[in-house]
Amino acid sequence: MNAPHDALDSSHDTVELALGGMTCATCAGRIEKQLNKLPGVEAVVNLAAERAHVRYLPGEVDVGRLIATVVKTGFTADVSTIDTRADEKAKKLAIYRDELRRFWIAAALTLPLVAQMAFMFGAGGHDDVIPRWLQLLLATPVQFWIGWRFYVGGFNAIRGGAGNMDVLVALGTSMAWAYSFVVTLWNLHHQHVYFEASATVITLVLLGKILEARAKAKTSAAIEALAKLQPQTARIERDGQLVDVPVATLIPGDVFIVRAGEAMPVDGEVIEGASSASESMLTGESLPVPKAPSDKVFAATINGDGLLRCRATGVGSHTLLAGIIRLVEQAQGSKAPVQRLADRVAAIFVPVVVAIALLTFVAWWALAGDFTQALVNAVAVLVIACPCALGLATPTAIMVGTGQGARAGVLIRNAVALELAEKLKVLVVDKTGTLTEGRPAVTDVVKVGAGDTATLMQLAASLEQGSTHPLAAAIVARAKVDGLALAAPQNVATTAGRGLQGEVEGRRVLVGSVSWSKEQGWFSPASDALAQAGRSVVAVVADDVLLGFIGIADPLRTTSRAAVARLNRLGIEVVMLTGDNADTARAIAHEAGIGHFEAEVLPGDKAAAVQNLKRDGTLVGMAGDGINDAPALAAADVSFAMAAGSDVAMQAADITLMRDDLNGVADAISLSRATLAKIRQNLFFAFIYNVLGIPLAALGMLNPVIAGAAMAMSSVSVVSNSLLLRNWKPDKD
């Protein structure tokens, strides 16, 4: 079943918190644990994005208490919105610059100690090149000023009842520094000192954190690029004059002007002018979309070569662009099931590593009788261990993957859907609006017996005015084109999946499917020819007399056949469900290249059909419009809404396709497989690194400095591997 959707739970509110002070997966886990202890709270913390997505029950807790809980745990938290994005980025940049400055100071103090190591290795001994008192002066600021962050982080972690990377670094470097300090203070020349190890480890870990921060910033580059596309000013009509005002000041109803080549400032409706707009940043579709009066325009899309006068309909956080950004950030903050193993390991990681380090120290001292070697090996165990790589393996890949999806017009609501999409074996598709254009038109009017086609159309269209069904709209539109005068229907009753009945100008009229008319006793073979030609057939009955049939065609999308073939190549069977008759369904399925279809399926029965396909454990996806097919979408393991610009569809589906093209489903599955492949690679690297590194350190085969460098680079390598997902592109074939 689908993961629960926030939007469908009206009793809960949601808030996004920007977090500060996290250094590894255990930090994220501790914040998450403390938030989830609060009544009515469900929180997910994303280490890579440094955010917490929190659902909470108003009345039980408020945002202030959520923030206070994070602060009490030893971290910082602020409410994060689209409007605060710039401030958050500026704050992170300031912290990054401060960290960079500290690193250069640490590097300058550590460099002489590292150079001394080279001389010592060249001489084949451990004779001091730099006087020990000078080594102490160089290493101490690095240990206690530059490295103070590790002590603070470690203290907060222990106070919160858990350990983290800071505990390991602080313990390991403090042991090396303290031992060296005692040897120097007591003037024990026959003992080695390890000031270079403590200082170098801190400097290298700091370098790793800086490189990691730079790499993590790139994981959200796709969303930042979308946000930057919206212009900062808009040209509006005010008191008969055109004035430039900040976009943030616009309100619904304001009239704005967009010149050729400019970006739309907000969502709106064209009231004057004709042009086209490039909506590729929303849909991934490169072809421009024509714009004329009454058409919708969307913030950040680019106007073509015409001048448009528009009325604002969505501003600020209510634009489609803002909704996309919120949806993607929510997905980036969610957890995939594959992450659970890493979370379980991270929760016990630090205590286990400390225990291994202690065992290493005791074993080496007891068996080798060498206190110094025992200490060095224990320090190496502490600094080689890295829970960060485990914590970053999944969220960084999800962030890059969902960002790439957004750029291609594929909006993934949660990480669960992203993981399940790669395992789909069957895709159920609706016919109308999914395989077809969704714009049906009347092609044939066939009368049966006496009467004329004009009367048939006038009665049918009059009754269909009470329906929102696409076929009803086609009948009404044709009647208006023919200039028929429509009457107001009375006592209209709808039978789901069947049709309508009611009164038109005193006559009892029934308009609906051929199968329904057959059940009522009205049938003519004249409908068969229409059905075999691929038409959707509507029967029209008045005063218990069959007047005739209306044939309606909804042309297959030009991309549908290629998309079905592409899905088949991905190993996915496409199944079409439709309420149409068998002949029409067979014709459309044959044209689309679909071998398995079910016809005359009522809306309420589509969910049962999906459940039936899932009976043997097969994972089933469903593609529909996100509204009419809601029961079937909910029954599917992964639901795809093909409804560009539909807020309802975005809230209803696991994955929203911003362009009405079945190729988007194939894109989503391709992206899912690429993302999960990266996650598995990352988890393998993270686990194998620790599985090999810790035993090597315990066996005395790793110098603490080398261990520190390896630990610092492990997280960077995982994030960098995730960034390779930016090379993923939708298949254009």
> Rounded distance, CA 325 to CA 480, Å?
41
Which of 651, 660, 694, 555 lies closest to 4, judged by CA? 651
Q: Coil, strand or helix: which one is 152?
A: helix
Report, as an integer, the average pLDDT of 507-516.
90
CATH topology of domain 441-553: Calcium-transporting ATPase, cytoplasmic domain N (3.40.1110)
Residue ranges per structural domain of the chain: 6-85, 89-221+328-400+675-727, 231-318, 425-437+556-636, 441-553
129 pLDDT above the threshold of 90: no
Which pLDDT value is given to residue 81?
Answer: 79
CB contact at 8 A, 298 and 264: yes
Catalytically active residues are: 430
* pTM for the predicted model, two decimal places: 0.76
Q: Give phi and psi for 411, each to the nearest 5.
A: -100, 115
CB contact at 8 A, 637 and 619: yes
Q: What is the average pLDDT score of the chain?
A: 85
CATH architecture for the domain at 425-437+556-636? 3-Layer(aba) Sandwich (3.40)
6-85 shares its CATH topology with 231-318 = no
Q: Ramachandran region of residue 256, left (φ > 0), alpha (ψ -120 to 50) or beta?
A: beta
Which of 628, 619, 668 lies closest to 652, judged by CA? 628
> Rounded distance, CA 496 to CA 105, Å?
74
Which pLDDT value is given to residue 140?
Answer: 96
Instruction: Say if residue 262 is exposed, middle or buried (CB neighbours under 10 Å; 0-12, 13-18, 19+).
Output: middle
Report, as an integer, the average pLDDT of 305-332.
84
> Rounded distance, CA 717 to CA 389, Å?
8
Please name the residue that has the structure tokens 């024990």. Answer: 188
CATH architecture for the domain at 6-85? 2-Layer Sandwich (3.30)
Structure tokens at 514: 């051929």
Which of 321, 304, 319, 94 lies closest to 228, judged by CA? 321
Residue 515 confidence class, pLDDT cut points 50, 70, 90 = confident
- Greatest alpha-carbon pair distance for the chain in Å reads 119
Where are the extended beta strands (E) located within 505-619? 507-513, 536-542, 545-553, 573-577, 596-598
Report, as an integer, the average pLDDT of 61-82.
91
> Rounded distance, CA 182 to CA 177, Å?
9
Report, as an integer, the average pLDDT of 697-707.
86
> Rounded distance, CA 687 to CA 393, Å?
10
Flag the least confident range among 40-54, 275-289, 595-609: 275-289
> Rounded distance, CA 461 to CA 477, Å?
8
Q: What's the pLDDT tens digit per position in 364-398?
A: 999 988 888 899 899 889 888 877 787 788 888 98
> Rounded distance, CA 482 to CA 455, Å?
12
> Rounded distance, CA 267 to CA 282, Å?
12
Q: Coil, strand or helix: which one is 273?
A: coil
Amino acid, res. 133 = W
> Rounded distance, CA 574 to CA 51, Å?
38
- CATH class belonging to 231-318: mainly beta
Which pLDDT value is given to residue 4?
Answer: 38
Q: Which residues are CB-contacts of 471 (< 8 A; sequence separation ≥ 6)?
A: 440, 536, 538, 552
